[in-house]
Homo-oligomer: A and B are copies of this chain.
Amino acid sequence: MAKIDTKGEAARSPRAPRKTTATAPPRTSRRARSAKTETPYHHGALREALLQAAERVLERDGLAGLTLRAVAREAGVSHAAPTHHFGDLTGLLSELAAVGFRQFNVAMAASCDAATTPLEAALARPKAYVAYAQAHPGMYGIMFRTERLDYSRPSLHEAAEASFAGLANAVGMMRQEQISGDSLTLNQGAAIARAWSLVHGFTMLLLDGRLKDILARLPEGTTAERLLEAMLTAPVTAKLPGC
């Protein structure tokens, strides 16, 4: 844990001007304050600022660099400030994951809306899924790779649930069935599990660099997206011996 470059805790002078993150309007205090916009003691929108700072740190320094103190530094507040808003590192990670799931859901829905041909419609969701993960690997990691998430938090639970519901719905439409909320046949469950496992597994392997070997052996310039398409559309040829 000592590898991460950091300017040390006291680098920022105790009252250095806080870099307002363009979305944290410093409130004008009622009492007189020196003209130079000294940082107000009360931030006013620290919670959101911290979440944005966390996302920045995550995509810049990776999951290993995403610490409570680093986020506090990035937001320009004391290292204990996040505690008040998230209680815990788990709390911060969970809320950030919830943000990620919402972004994720929006991206999937948008991709679906943009589809015109039936083939496009069939591939829209999986493609958007993988594309989001590639564009925001840190976020996807937080959402699916961290064991330090608290799904009992309503915001996270709801956002993740919405994601799952969207998936189940899409599978239901593919099978031209109505997927009821509280009961599934084995084949329905298998279809959902298959779709999710396939895309999630592909994404994880891709982000972990474990598909590089395969991609390198494919015809010149075959991209991951192309491989995904082939994986989803190519006929499942044989079901023979197998060991």
Contact = CB atoms under 8 A, between A and B. Distances in A.
Q: How large is the interface on A (under 10, 10 to 19, 20 to 34, 35 or more residues)?
A: 35 or more
Interface stretch (A7-15, A34-42, A117-125): A117-125
What is the count of identical protomers in the complex? 2
Nearest to A214: B189
Given A201-B198, A227-B189, A115 B243 contact: yes
A236 interface: yes
A194 B122 contact: no
A205 B121 CA distance: 25
Interface in A204-243: 204-205, 208, 210-211, 213-215, 217-219, 222, 226-227, 230-231, 234, 236-243
Secondary structure call for the A interface? helix
Contact of A173 (B175, B185, B243): B243
A234 B201 contact: no
20 contacts: A118-B242, A125-B243, A141-B147, A144-B204, A145-B145, A147-B208, A173-B243, A174-B241, A176-B238, A184-B214, A186-B219, A187-B234, A189-B214, A189-B218, A190-B230, A192-B214, A197-B199, A198-B201, A200-B204, A201-B202
